[in-house]
Amino acid sequence: MSSNTEASAEAPPPDPLSQGGSVPSTAGDPTVDFNDVFSLRKPKDARAGLSSGLKSICKGVLAGAAGLVAAPIVGAQREGWVGAAKGVAAGVVGAVVLPVTGVAVGTVQMVRGVVNTGEAMSESNKGKIWDEVRREWVDKPDGTIITADAARQSARSLTKPAAGVDYYEILQVPRDAPPEAIKKAYYVLAKRWHPDKNPGDESAHQRFQLLGEAYQVLGNADLRARYDKHGAAGLDQVNIMDGGEFFNIMDGG
């Protein structure tokens, strides 16, 4: 009986990782999403390609530096000193691989931007506009009345707020959420439901659009106050930017 008690007392505590826990992703961790670090979206022109390329390079350098610091810590939490040593090795590899990958992706994006500049000039001269969501040139909607479908086609179209929706529920935040919590919720959900990650999924596209609409209202102190007081009726004179265009502006183009 005593031997069983001693064995039980000496048994190590359960590893939270084996029970569904999580730790920050590190270099070499298969859970790291390439698309969360680097962007291979089609750039509109040379300027957009330069912007996308520089962001990929910067993200690669920052991710490599973060992995170099985080990997030994995570390794130590998992396996003690042995894990810390493994983490140092993984961090060093990531500190080299991620910046190099960032430079490679960045260079590709810059070249693609230059190549696409000719198309941009040609399509623009034809009166077409660039759709930030679909990443292609589309015809301008005819007439002065912009429908919901036209708003999806035109990245710079404005539309009225959707009726019968709860912006707090869309962003999954409480009604007393501080501005920083609302901003974080928008970025997390917008990246999850972005059309680039859900090609051909119309429901994801609609959710992405509603997320942009919700943040344009709740992320603005004046509009949020009007919405809290009067609901959708307080937004009668408000125009909402297309979700794709809004996301790209917030994300730095």
**End-to-end C-alpha distance for the chain, whole angstroms:** 68
> Would you say 192 and 170 are in contact if contact means Cβ atoms under 8 Å apart?
no
Dihedrals φ, ψ of 27, to 5°?
Answer: -60, 135
pLDDT at position 64 is: 84
| Rounded Cα–Cα distance for residues 127 and 125 (Å) | 5
Enumerate domains of the chain plus CATH numbers: 2-125 (no CATH), 132-250 (1.10.287.110)
pLDDT at position 165 is: 81
| Rounded Cα–Cα distance for residues 19 and 102 (Å) | 34
pLDDT in tens, 231-244: 888 887 777 888 88
Under-70 pLDDT residues of the chain: 1-36, 132-133, 140-163, 251-253
pLDDT at position 180 is: 93
- Give the SS3 label for residue 227: helix
pTM of this prediction? 0.46
> Would you say 91 and 63 are in contact if contact means Cβ atoms under 8 Å apart?
no
Angle 199-203-208 from CA coordinates, rounded to 5°: 80
Instruction: Give the DSSP H or E segment for 129.
Output: strand 129-131
| Rounded Cα–Cα distance for residues 29 and 51 (Å) | 28
pLDDT at position 118 is: 84
Q: Which two tokens stand for residue 27?
A: 């270099």
Q: Which ranges of 126-230 would DSSP assign to H, the alpha helix?
A: 148-153, 167-171, 179-192, 202-218, 221-230
> Would you say 67 and 94 are in contact if contact means Cβ atoms under 8 Å apart?
yes
pLDDT in tens, 208-237: 999 999 999 999 998 999 999 988 888 877
pLDDT in tens, 44-55: 888 888 888 888
